[in-house]
Amino acid sequence: MSNNNSDTNQIGLEKADMSEIIAKLNSLLSSYHTFYINVRGYHWNVKGEHFFTLHPKFEELYTALQIQIDEIAERILTLGGTPLHAYSDFAQHTSIQEDKNVKDGTICVKGVVTGLQTLIEEQRQVSTLASDSDDQGSADLVDAYVQEQEKLIWMYNAFLG
């Protein structure tokens, strides 16, 4: 596929259609970064009877988030955009609240569930917008995240009882 049309990006999608998707993906990237920082805090600071259960689960989660952050940034680049990369930009565009000084395991898990629910909601919006613009790559990326995160919500809610 050669790209001789200046109205399309390097993968043949209309640049005008991609600007809103790029903006939504940058907001999603910001939310992921904030959630990642929250989960690192849970991992470092959790105390109590569930420490040995939750400490490795939080590490598993933030390790997966790191990979997803990179994939979202690379998707933004693929679409011809520039991924946000400054904390001040993340703070301005995130839909997730910072969670400071949380030590109680149950509250940490509730923070994980809330964060995942927020990411899922945001990703469903990205998926709809991307599908409407024939951007199957972005839709598939976030749809896969949603499927895995829905399962995580079920598991963390099972922990909460």
The answer to whether residue 147 scores a pLDDT higher than 90 is yes
pLDDT digits (tens, 9 = 90+) for 97-125: 999 999 999 999 999 999 999 999 999 99
pLDDT digits (tens, 9 = 90+) for 57-73: 999 999 999 999 999 99
Do 115 and 96 form a contact (C-beta atoms < 8 A)?
A: yes
pLDDT of residue 42: 98
What's the Cα-to-Cα distance from 42 to each of 14, 21, 144, 149, rounded to whole Å? 41, 31, 25, 18
Proportion of the chain above pLDDT 70, given as a percent: 97
Domains and CATH numbers, the chain: 15-160 (1.20.1260.10)
The answer to whether residue 21 scores a pLDDT higher than 90 is yes
* Largest CA-CA distance found in the chain, in angstroms, rounded: 62
Do 29 and 94 form a contact (C-beta atoms < 8 A)?
A: no
Q: How confident is the prediction for the chain on average, in pLDDT?
A: 95
pLDDT of residue 1: 46
Give mean pLDDT, residues 134-145. 97
Specify the pTM.
0.93
> CA–CA separation, 10 vs 14, rounded Å?
10
Do 35 and 151 form a contact (C-beta atoms < 8 A)?
A: no
What proportions of the chain, in percent to the nearest 5, are helix, strand and coil? 75, 0, 25
Concatenate the DSSP letters of all residues of 78-146 into one string. Answer: HTT------HHHHHHH-SS----S--BHHHHHHHHHHHHHHHHHHHHHHHHHHHHTT-HHHHHHHHHHH
CA 160 to chain centre: 23
pLDDT of residue 50: 95
Identity of the residue numbered 121: E
pLDDT of residue 4: 53
Q: What's the angle, vertex CA 132, arms to CA 18 and CA 115, rounded to 5?
A: 80
* DSSP reduced 3-state for 11: coil
Residues 6 or more apart whose CB falls under 8 angstroms from that of 57 comprise: none
